[in-house]
Amino acid sequence: MKVILAQPRGFCAGVIRAVETVELALEQYGAPVYVRHEIVHNQHVVEGLRAKGVRFVEDLEEVPANALTIFSAHGVGKDVENHARQRQLKVLDATCPLVTKVHNQGRQYAAKGYQVILIGEAGHPEVIGTLGQIPAPVILVRNVAEVQTLDFPPLTPLAYITQTTLSLDDTYTVVEALKQRYPHIVGPDTRDICYAVQNRQAAVRELSRCSDLVLVVGSVRSANSVTLRDIASASGKPSYLIANGSAVRNEWFGNGTTVGITAGASTPESMVDDVIAALARIAPLEIEVLPGREEHVQFRLPVGLAARQ
């Protein structure tokens, strides 16, 4: 069996920052550390941190007075920030800086009098947080069909922003539909979608071209992992989203199958290694890494943490 690894794959700078924030908080403040929502959407990462003394909560009322609280990489709304202040909790904000950028864009548009339209998945934590960061009504749309249901007067000042983890192609299609209906609409370039999402999506397209089958290692709750699987499927290749090697099935493979492997931005490389080990139990492997974009982005840690020496 030939295995081709996508490049880049796995952890992005925002996830690295979020996970490191939690690990450093444990080292510098001691357990328990409380995290509102899963720090990233990967069960292996979450369980590993839970074993070290992290407690994940959905409501700040679950956090004891004076306890250290961390906001997840997905971001939170102003109501959560205010609740933390009211309870006088010590907070470390691990929101991905690229998500914070979207919050800032939305607030700026609202302050200028625009009706803001958010392109995103209803109910996703990032979307909930973004909606809660903009002090004005925001319209949420996910696809072209929902764009067609909008009914703004012709001269309504409109602006759009986007969830960071969506498919670049899908987002472009929605933006073009908005522009067609409302030519005066303003918004960021679709290239402003998270650099890591763009790079991984480009890599999985290339991977699909040279593979018989594609495995995306990640969580079904991870929007960017689901998108990678969808992109691979759209290429016409059998594609599976799996959490780890235990999900690999022998019947997926024939003699001489070329298997492409990539991983979502919240997936640690250890889970990719676990999948490779599972494949090695099926057949001898020939492994190569697809040439691709190297990422050197680093984000500063939240205020209140000292970096490891």
Looking at residue 191, its pLDDT comes to 64
User: Secondary structure of the chain: what % helix, strand, coil (to 5)?
Assistant: 40, 15, 40
Rounded (10°) CA dihedral 221, 225, 228, 234: -20
Asked whether the predicted pLDDT for residue 236 surpasses 90, the reply is: yes
* Mean pLDDT estimate for the chain: 94
Looking at residue 190, its pLDDT comes to 67
Those residues with Cβ within 8 angstroms of residue 154's Cβ, 6 or more apart along the chain or in another chain:
none
Two structure tokens written together for 227 = 């998108």
Mean pLDDT to the nearest integer, 39-54: 93
- Domain coordinates of the chain in residue numbers? 2-11+195-289, 13-96, 98-192
Those residues with Cβ within 8 angstroms of residue 254's Cβ, 6 or more apart along the chain or in another chain:
none
Residue 82 counted as an annotated binding residue = no
pLDDT digits (tens, 9 = 90+) for 117-175: 999 999 999 999 999 999 999 999 999 999 999 999 988 999 999 999 888 888 999 99
Residue 199 counted as an annotated binding residue = no
Residue 167 counted as an annotated binding residue = no
Question: For the domain bounded by 2-11+195-289, which CATH number is listed?
Answer: 3.40.1010.20
The CA distance from 56 to 33, in Å, is 9
Phi-psi region of 286 (alpha: psi -120 to 50; beta: other; left: phi over 0): beta
Return the CATH architecture of domain 98-192: 3-Layer(aba) Sandwich (3.40)
Which residues belong to the active site? 126
When pLDDT is cut at 50, 70 and 90, the band that residue 192 belongs to is low
Residue 210 counted as an annotated binding residue = no
Return the CATH architecture of domain 13-96: 3-Layer(aba) Sandwich (3.40)
Residue 72 counted as an annotated binding residue = no
Domains 2-11+195-289 and 98-192 in one fold = yes
Asked whether the predicted pLDDT for residue 195 surpasses 80, the reply is: yes
Mean pLDDT to the nearest integer, 227-241: 95
Q: Is the pTM of this model over 0.85?
A: yes
pLDDT digits (tens, 9 = 90+) for 66-94: 899 999 999 999 999 999 999 999 999 99
Residue 44 counted as an annotated binding residue = no
Count of other CB atoms within 10 angstroms of residue 246: 9
